Structure 1
Amino acid sequence: MTADRIEKQRVLQAPRERVWQAVSEAPRFGYWFGVDFDGPFVEGARITGRIAPTQVDAEVARLQEPYRGMAFEFLVERIEPLRRISFRWHPFAIDPTVDYSAETMTLIEFVLTEQGDATLLTISESGFDQIPAQRRAQAYAANEGGWTHQLELVAKYLALKTPD
């Protein structure tokens, strides 16, 4: 049995505006997350991303390399500038022989809270209970660890002097 929700938090040493750019602008997001998107993040839009290993961490890039070019879909659910952006996707949808389109998508939320000169970033993903039982535990475990990596990647991205 798995939990239905993952939540990770990190205080980032960057102003909220800069963190917002990193999580709400598709090219910047892709740079640290490890994906090339076919368009901008627009509320209500469905966009396709293809795995393209992160540019900020060689070790994580090596882990992503076997999946290079693998496509996945993001549904941009909600954008609240400087505060929250949320997406839906099919988590851990890595088997090219499986059609995941009939499955319920999980909800990913990036929430920014100003903390002086820093920003608290909370990343959550919920809805795992709706994933088919035969892949639920694996999807949860993969993403539980994945979001830990992604918080580290966004922090590394924000630490770059010229991030893009």
Structure 2
Amino acid sequence: MEHASDTDRIERSIVIDAPRATVWNALADADAFGRWFGADLKGRTFAPGQRARGNITYPGYEHLHFDVVIDRMQPLELLSFRWHPYAVDPAVDYSEEQPTLVTFTLADAGTNRTLLTIVESGFDNVPPHRRLEAFRMNGAGWDAQLTNIVRHVAA
């Protein structure tokens, strides 16, 4: 697991012992994504320009929604979406904030192995009063999600 970040972006990379197509399916299929990420996305699809929304299933966060707009999809290479980072206060309307961009890229890492890189950028546009906490919490969140996707593709 590799860690790199500055004030505007979080970057995490991991080599997964699975073919690129398997990892791509875990990302691009909304239901599969939801299973490892912790969101109920059954019946949803990921498509550029489209919103995907579902209840968070992670214990303690069930009152929240996974809510993204898919930015780009390049099969077997890239999936990106925009969302409001660490939008955890149900009393706050985050819709006026500029969302961050989350990008998943895939590359071959040897026979039947895939390098997955996750970059979330745009934290410098998050309102100052919540920027540091959003950055810190999402950094820890992406660490956990790398473990979750590895577990998912190994199952």
TM-score (norm 2): 0.92
Does the alignment pair 1:8 with 2:21? no
* Structure with greater helix percent: 1
Given the alignment, which residue of 22, 27, 52 partners 2:26?
22
Residues in 2 aligned to 1:115 and 1:139: alpha-carbon distance in whole angstroms: 31
| Moved segments of 4+, more than 6 Å | none
Does the alignment pair 1:32 with 2:36? yes
Asked if 1 retains the 8 angstrom alpha-carbon contact of 2:68 and 2:82, the reply is yes
Sequence identity percentage: 45
Count of equivalent residues: 148
Residues in 2 aligned to 1:50 and 1:81: alpha-carbon distance in whole angstroms: 26
Query: CA offset at residue 113 of structure 1?
Result: 0.2
Query: CA offset at residue 69 of structure 1?
Result: 4.0
Residues in 1 aligned to 2:153 and 2:136: alpha-carbon distance in whole angstroms: 26
- Paired residue secondary structure (2:7): coil
Query: CA offset at residue 159 of structure 1?
Result: 1.2
Query: CA offset at residue 66 of structure 1?
Result: 1.2
Gaps of 5+ in 1: 54-64
Asked if 1 retains the 8 angstrom alpha-carbon contact of 2:81 and 2:102, the reply is yes
- Paired residue secondary structure (1:99): coil
Does the alignment pair 1:49 with 2:44? no
TM-score (norm 1): 0.87
Given the alignment, which residue of 97, 105, 111 partners 2:105?
111
Gaps of 5+ in 2: 1-5
Does the alignment pair 1:153 with 2:143? no
Query: CA offset at residue 49 of structure 1?
Result: 2.2
Given the alignment, which residue of 120, 123, 128 partners 1:128?
123
Moved more, 34-43 or 148-157: 34-43
CA RMSD of aligned residues (A): 1.1
Does the alignment pair 1:82 with 2:86? no
The letter of the residue matching 1:19 is V
